[in-house]
Amino acid sequence: MSENQNPPAGTSKDVTAAPEAGTAVGPADRFPDPGVPEHKKRLTDTDPHAAKRAERTVTILFVASILGTIGSIVAYVMVPPDGTTSGVRLSTLLLGLGLTVSLLGIGIAGIHWAKALMGDREFVQERHTLATQGEDRETAIKDLNEGLEDSGVVGRRGVLKGAFFGALALFPIAIAVPLIGSVGGDWNISQFKHTMWKRGMRLAIDPSGRPIKASDVTVGSVFHVVPETTEAYRETHDWITEKSKAVVLMVRLNPEDLRTDQSPEGETWSHEGIVAYSKICTHVGCPVALYEQQTHHLLCPCHQSTFDIADSAKVVFGPANRRLPQLPITVDDEGYLVAQDDFAEPIGPSFWERLK
């Protein structure tokens, strides 16, 4: 019963302090451990033919691996990718299959070798208590105490210790400040509140950049809109960042279907049923791209926030809390759609200072 391994809780608090405490419950409460089961011989232990067969199988598997390696080299030389998608796929497939056989051959051979031919007797080894025992422990404690004693700071030299820990705690700041200071660029988070839309800026089709005439927008059609800019600007990083905020989805509804939009008293933000809303979801900022003509619902494909275009783009379902901000639009003298101004509120997902 000394191998009684799981004494009930409460009878033994610490296996290191009282290794035999588990037996306190008394032998009658526990069944005896039957011991390690008897070793059963495998077929390969008793039958030399089986052993020979296993040996042959392992050898064949290693040979298969070698053939796989050769096969992949052959594939590399004979089937180069010709640039087309199918050519690339074929090359990938053949190279990969060669590699697969080469690897699996070794793997399966190794396992089979271990299982069928290597010794399969179980051994029992003792575990040692992890906590340091007896003299070792005492020596360690003594050494530690002596070391602390020699340092001369235990219980005294408080100012020195304070200075030491203070210096240690502070020095990373000398590295962290320049790092963190620079890593965020100009830290001008007020940029979240503005986009590049300005009064009179024409609405253009994404990605061609062609400005849109109001007369070209038929009822029910959807336009993915960006501000009109120069071709050269559209090849800069600045553009990608600005576009991330400025993209707009424009729809023309039957004017009688358009129940409300976001224009305040005395202003008109839409033009003859044409409404333009920020395409950036107010949830986490995915482009809201799925428009359903019948219901006038706009669905975000990322998390299914659904907005009603006919009703000032308010949230009808999903995890978004706020309606999509509306871009106030009108037409210019030449009949092109233009913005009246920037969005009246920050676009995209919420942030702490959004209303400040």
Residues 110-169 touching other proteins, rule: CB under 8 A, are 110-115, 118-127, 129-130
Closest by Cα among 218, 243, 217 to 228: 243
Q: Which of 28, 159, 170, 175 binds other proteins (CB under 8 A)?
A: 28
Q: Which of 305, 312, 326, 340 binds other proteins (CB under 8 A)?
A: 305
Separation CA 116–CA 196 (nearest Å): 72
When the beta carbons of 87 and 255 are compared against other proteins, the nearer one is 87
| Contact assessment for residue 283 and residue 349, using Cβ atoms and an 8 Å cutoff | yes
Side chain identity at residue 134, one-letter code: G
Binding mask 193-222 for other proteins (x = CB under 8 A): -------------xx---------------
User: Is 57 a binder of other proteins (CB under 8 A)?
Assistant: no
Using CA atoms, how far residue 11 sits from 2, 3, 21, 24, in Å, is 15, 16, 7, 7
When the beta carbons of 76 and 164 are compared against other proteins, the nearer one is 76
Least spacing, CB of residue 206 vs other proteins, in Å: 5
Residue whose structure tokens are 């020195």: 160
Least spacing, CB of residue 43 vs other proteins, in Å: 18
**Using CB under 8 A, which residues numbered 234 to 293 contact other proteins?**
235-237, 240-241, 243-245, 247, 279, 283-287, 289-290
Least spacing, CB of residue 207 vs other proteins, in Å: 7
When the beta carbons of 53 and 297 are compared against other proteins, the nearer one is 297
C-alpha dihedral over 109, 110, 111, 114, to 10 degrees? 120
User: Is 344 a binder of other proteins (CB under 8 A)?
Assistant: no
Least spacing, CB of residue 238 vs other proteins, in Å: 9
Separation CA 323–CA 307 (nearest Å): 7
β-strand partners of 233: none
**Using CB under 8 A, which residues numbered 171 to 190 contact other proteins?**
180, 183-187, 189
Least spacing, CB of residue 136 vs other proteins, in Å: 16
| Contact assessment for residue 340 and residue 269, using Cβ atoms and an 8 Å cutoff | yes
Distance from the Cα of residue 119 to its chain's centroid:
45
Closest by Cα among 141, 47, 66 to 109: 66
When the beta carbons of 53 and 224 are compared against other proteins, the nearer one is 224
